[in-house]
Amino acid sequence: KAAYYDTRLTEMIYRKLSPHTGGMVGITTNATMTNAGEARVRGIELSFETALTSWLRAMGSYTYTDSKITRDESGTDLQGKILRYVPKNMAFLGLDAHWQDWRAQINTTYTGLQYSNEDNSDVVKNVFGGVSKYWLTNLRVSYQINKNFKAAVAINNLFDKKYYEYYLMPGRNAAIELSASF
């Protein structure tokens, strides 16, 4: 599958950053919500899903996104900057195995470089306040106990990848689930 998208944003509210002149220690900027003007987001997504065997499916996708502020009314010279938290490249690969009452899913996602500052000034990578590009892998195994009950174990960030989206994001974590449907 292939998809192309072209989105225009008008009257877009964005943060206007200005130097902090107050007396608070460690605070260097003030952020005020303001109308930043207009932006354009366009890109392409390519995806596939296929049966490898009678019990195993594979799926994947790649997304390329070009995002830019096309008009800046905030007075902060944002025109031409990339939108915050919009990575240019993203990818996904997954396997889904289903055998009798068991099901296992493993997937990995890639998130390319993305900015957390409006002016794209956060260029220091893999630190607090900075940005990261990263792969995350998740695993889920479930068992259908009977027609009404299912048990599952999920492990997110399987390889305990350290990454930042301004803040340090969670490391490996797990969940146990028991669900019922009638």
Per-residue pLDDT, 135: 94
pTM of the model: 0.81
Per-residue pLDDT, 92: 98
Mean pLDDT of 27-43: 82
Burial of 79: CB neighbours in 10 Å, binned 0-12, 13-18, 19+? middle
The residue type found at 145 is I
Helix (H) or strand (E) segment spanning residue 73:
none
Whole-angstrom CA distances from 59 to 92, 149, 158, 159 are 8, 27, 19, 21
Beta carbons of 143 and 102 less than 8 angstroms apart: yes
Mean pLDDT of 17-37: 74
Per-residue pLDDT, 140: 98
Per-residue pLDDT, 41: 96
Q: What is the pLDDT of residues 115-169, one digit of tens each?
A: 888 888 887 888 887 777 899 999 999 999 999 999 999 999 999 999 888 788 8
Q: What is the pLDDT of residues 57-79, one digit of tens each?
A: 999 999 999 999 999 877 778 88
